Amino acid sequence: MHPYVVAFDPVAFQLGPVSVHWYGIMYAIAFALFWWLGERRRRMGRLPVGPSAFSDLAFYGMLGVILGGRLGYMLFYGWSELAADPWSIVRVWEGGMSFHGGLLGVLLAAWLWARKQHLHYFDVMDFVAPLVPIGLGVGRFGNFVGGELWGRHTDVAWGMIFPRSFEHSASIEQLEAMAKAGQLAAEVRHPSQLYQMVLEGVVMFGILYAVSMKPRRRFLVSGLFAVLYGAFRFLVEFVREPDAQIGYLAWGWLTMGQLLSLPLIAFGLVLIAWSRRAPVLEPRVVDDPPKDADTKGTKPKDAR
């Protein structure tokens, strides 16, 4: 069996002069699933706000992901590109988003929203944490379809060929024929995007969602998220090709992704330790007040 050649068309379809990329579709799917599952959990009392307030949270989070993810990528991984072409920061459709930057964007957006709603910040983050792996999983699949962020060279049976990872002038049909003939054995790589999709998406979602649906203490879900993501990302980096413009930072194996994951793991462990003395949160359902209701003088209650 010859290696699979990953060669999807990055453009899903055309709307007149507008090209709709798979990368953008994946983000749209992720945001839609975030809102749907988040609203479902809100109706179960996992966040004591009405539907309009939750919609605001989803919008804040979307902006945090896009702005933080793009800015983080350009600062952590694409500084030289940004310095040469400042307008590159707005070309999100070309790819190039940083999870760690997106996380910082979401943290800031949630903090602003929590202040507005008079809620404890980590009650909000504990609510959001099980929803994030949905976006991570969908996003990693988008990376795979886009043929980007490939893994290192390998000889494992499930290794794949990513045409964008090496210089060539052959058509996709020619590459497939060459792969079948065994002529591209040196270009076979780990499909690290799929590893991350499973670990950061499926596995993390299953664990965090199960924990969040039971009576649990404040900080616990957020802490588990930080530890799990940091650990999974650190491990996958051993088979993921480091960014060409950065390479290895030290010892011939430490990558920027691993370096950024270490403080995340440490912070997650701190949150889990804090949770041992934190209150147990009980579900509380809240609905929007009628539009003609007199809410003057009322004050939102702090979440338990």
For 137-153, the pLDDT digits (tens) are 998 998 899 888 899 99
In a domain, 289, yes or no: no
Residues 6+ apart with CB under 8 A from 139: 26, 27, 30, 97
Predicted pLDDT at 1? 74
pLDDT tens-place string over residues 158-191: 999 999 899 988 999 999 999 999 999 999 999 9
In a domain, residue 173? The reply is: no
pLDDT at 77: 66
The reply to whether 171 falls in a domain is no
d(CA 165, CA 56): 40
Task: Tell me which of 17-31, 46-60, 103-117 is least confident.
Answer: 17-31
Instruction: Give the model's pLDDT for residue 18.
Output: 81
Q: How many folded domains does the chain comprise? A: 1
Evaluate whether residue 302 is within a structural domain. Answer: no
What is the distance, to the nearest Å, from the Cα of residue 99 to the centroid of all Cα atoms in its chain?
5
Share of the chain above pLDDT 70, in %: 87
pLDDT over threshold 50, residue 107: yes
Share of the chain above pLDDT 90, in %: 55
What whole-number distance in Å separates Cα of residue 47 and Cα of residue 283?
7
Instruction: List pLDDT tens digits, range 48-71.
Output: 999 999 999 999 888 888 888 778
Task: Check whether 41 has a pLDDT greater than 70.
Answer: yes
Tell me whether residue 212 is in a domain: yes
- Residues 202, 9, 80, CA angle at the centre, nearest 5°? 80
Range of 18's domain? 7-161+183-281
Mean pLDDT of 35-45: 93
pLDDT at residue 94, as a whole number: 57
List helix spans (H) across the chain. Answer: 22-43, 51-76, 79-84, 99-117, 121-128, 132-145, 172-180, 192-196, 204-212, 220-236, 256-275
pLDDT at 154: 96
87 compared with 202, residue with greater pLDDT: 202
Do 121 and 114 meet the contact criterion of CB atoms below 8 Å apart?
yes
pLDDT on residue 92: 59
88 within a domain of the structure (yes/no): yes
Q: How far are the Cα atoms of 48, 66, 83, 84, 273 from residue 101, in angstroms, in the given order?
A: 28, 9, 18, 21, 25
Around Cβ 74, how many Cβ atoms within 10 Å? 21
Q: Which residue has the higher pLDDT, 154 or 20?
A: 154
290 pLDDT band, cuts 50/70/90, is low
Task: Look up tokens 């879900």; give the residue.
Answer: 221
Find the range with the poorest average confidence among 45-49, 104-108, 295-299: 295-299
pTM to 2 decimal places: 0.83
Determine, yes or no, domain membership for 172. Answer: no
Q: Look up tokens 């009576």; give the residue.
A: 215
User: How many C-beta neighbours within 10 Å does residue 187 have?
Assistant: 20
Whether residue 26 lies inside any domain: the answer is yes
Tell me whether residue 267 is exposed, middle or buried, using C-beta atoms within 10 angstroms of its C-beta: 0 to 12, 13 to 18, 19 or more. Answer: middle
Q: Are 265 and 231 in contact (CB under 8 A)?
A: yes
Least confident of 40-54, 89-103, 252-266: 89-103
Of 238 and 303, more confident: 238
